Amino acid sequence: MAENMDGMSMDIGQLGLDGLRSAFPQCFSEGRPDLDKLRAECGDFIEDDTEKYEFKWKGKGRCKKLAHKRSTGTIRPCVEESVNFATTKNLYIEGDNLEVLKLLQKAYFGKVKMIYIDPPYNTGNDFVYEDDFSDPIARYKEMTSQMAKSNPETDGRFHTKWLNMMYPRLCLAANLLRDDGVMFVSIDDNEVHNMRKLCDEVFGEENFVAHFIWHSRQNADSRALDGVSNDHGFVLCYRKQTGNRIRGKAIDTDKYSNPDNDQRGPWMSSPMDGLATADLRPNLHYTITNLLTGKQYNPNPANGWRFQRSTVEQLMRVFT
């Protein structure tokens, strides 16, 4: 099938850019050549005594102003669409998240224990955010794919628009957290690096807790580019204040007892057998001698012990 022709002559500028990108891909940012990086690659270094580590992008200053701009909106209850409106302990709010976050500040500032967000992953066409509320109805229709207009993929993949969308919302969400509060953020490879930097700036990098790997796919993705099907995403965790610990499910103490009146309190026994492995691990196969009776014990031939010899010897010295 013949290719569609636009009736225009060859784009020589684009041809040059393609060649430059092929030779120096590291000198391109958001689809545009960074001439300072190109000069450095060619050995022509720019002396800058004022350079420092910082995270900047176009529009960052406006984002800060946007987060502080007061909203004139209001949250209207929908009693007829609710379930147990008078007694429920749950609240579901439908609306633009930036405006809603602003409206929640007065009632919930510093009162929320945990926030989980699942923001757009910036895959190229999954979000349209321009923070201009002059025509909220039209904007809502555009965001929910009820209008034809959308970001072109090349524009949607630019990091700047994604950062401008996320920054004010992240700042407002962080304001809602209690001093012992935490935030969890789902994200994928496209923006996980920028999300870490954003959260470091909003919460302080000392309040980073963990970068969890989420096994999100069981089967191969036939749509995967470059032949690689990722089966995971990420969940970032940040705390509001340094020193807060993330506490999981309470320990079931029903199996603990203290039949020997150990001064350290209730305890429970745990099997010393390890897990079966395809290949024997020599450091887990050895004889344990009871220091009190002299009786010797050997592990299950397939499993071995749970711990290596030095660990067991240390435990025996502690408990005898």
User: What is the chain's alpha carbon radius of gyration, rounded to the nearest angstrom?
Assistant: 29
Residue 6, pLDDT score: 60
pTM for the model stands at: 0.64
CA neighbor of 112 nearest in space, from 168, 201, 167, 174: 174
User: 139 in helix, strand or coil?
Assistant: helix
Cβ contacts of residue 288 below 8 Å, gap of 6+?
Answer: 272, 296, 297, 298, 305, 312
Q: Average pLDDT by consecutive 10-residue portion of the chain (320 residues)? A: 57 81 84 85 76 86 87 88 90 88 91 94 62 50 46 60 92 93 94 95 93 86 76 93 78 86 87 72 87 86 84 78
Domains of the chain: 13-41 (no CATH), 60-217+229-239 (3.40.50), 272-320 (no CATH)
Residue 283, pLDDT score: 85
Which H or E run includes 154? helix 153-156
Residue 104, pLDDT score: 92
Residue 242, pLDDT score: 82
Residue 280, pLDDT score: 74
Per the DSSP assignment, residues forming a β-bridge with 5 are none
Residue 142, pLDDT score: 52
Q: List, as one string, the DSSP characters of 184-206.
A: EEEE-TTTHHHHHHHHHHHH-GG
Residue 37, pLDDT score: 85
